[in-house]
Amino acid sequence: PWLMLFFVPAVAMRIWAEEKKVGTDELLMTLPVKDYEVVLGKYLAALVLVALALILTFPVVLVVKYFADPHTPVDWGPIWCGYLGSLLMGASFLAMGVWASSLTRNQIIAFIISCAVGFVLILIGFPFIYQVLPGGEILARFSLYSHFLSLYRGVLDLADVVYYLSAIAFFLFLNIRSVESRKWK
């Protein structure tokens, strides 16, 4: 989670901010495509990059399996669930980053907003944080970290997958609304 907290917003910070800064967003929005199609297209293109970066870490797993004691079997369940959790968390960070990028013309501000929102959503999952907050048990359910932990341990729970898909849908919805807001001006 900590590596993705900085890597994924760095991927997402240019998606809309650079378009606004250069002025190509107006050209893009005059094309015969709907706003949600543009948002989904940009999101899915960046998601392919994040997934590719994650796939490129798989040789590390193969090296560990190759050099492990042959009498100790490798449990592939936690490995695959960890990769699934990492992909879902990365996709959630990416949806946050794309939304943050749609709010501003400055890439650095988009990066900071995305990192700050992601940091808060990770931090509220730690017991020493949510136990001191009023209603902390409820806040902990919104944490990206607490849902990642169960997947990381090899427990594939539908509630965790639904949480991540809901977070992605929520931030993409905010992104679509942010892009549509140019019509309100």
Dump pLDDT digits (tens) for 141-160: 888 888 898 888 888 889 99
Strand, helix or coil for residue 98:
helix
Other beta carbons less than 10 A from residue 110's beta carbon: 27
pLDDT above 80: residue 175? yes
Query: Rounded distance, CA 117 to CA 182, Å?
Result: 23
- What is residue 183's DSSP assignment? G
Check if the beta carbon of residue 154 is closer than 8 Å to that of residue 147: no
Using pLDDT thresholds of 50, 70 and 90, give the confidence band for residue 184: low
CA distances from 56 to 48, 51, 60, 74 (A): 12, 9, 9, 20
pTM: 0.90
Check if the beta carbon of residue 68 is closer than 8 Å to that of residue 74: yes
Dump pLDDT digits (tens) for 40-67: 999 999 999 999 999 999 999 888 888 8
Please report the pLDDT score of residue 19 as a whole number: 86
Please report the pLDDT score of residue 154 as a whole number: 85
Dump pLDDT digits (tens) for 66-123: 888 888 888 888 899 999 999 999 999 999 999 999 999 899 999 999 999 999 999 8
Please report the pLDDT score of residue 185 as a whole number: 59
**Cα radius of gyration rounded to whole Å, the chain:** 18
Query: Rounded distance, CA 107 to CA 12, Å?
Result: 9
CA distances from 98 to 17, 103, 158, 169 (A): 9, 9, 25, 12
What does the block give as tokens for 2? 């900590």
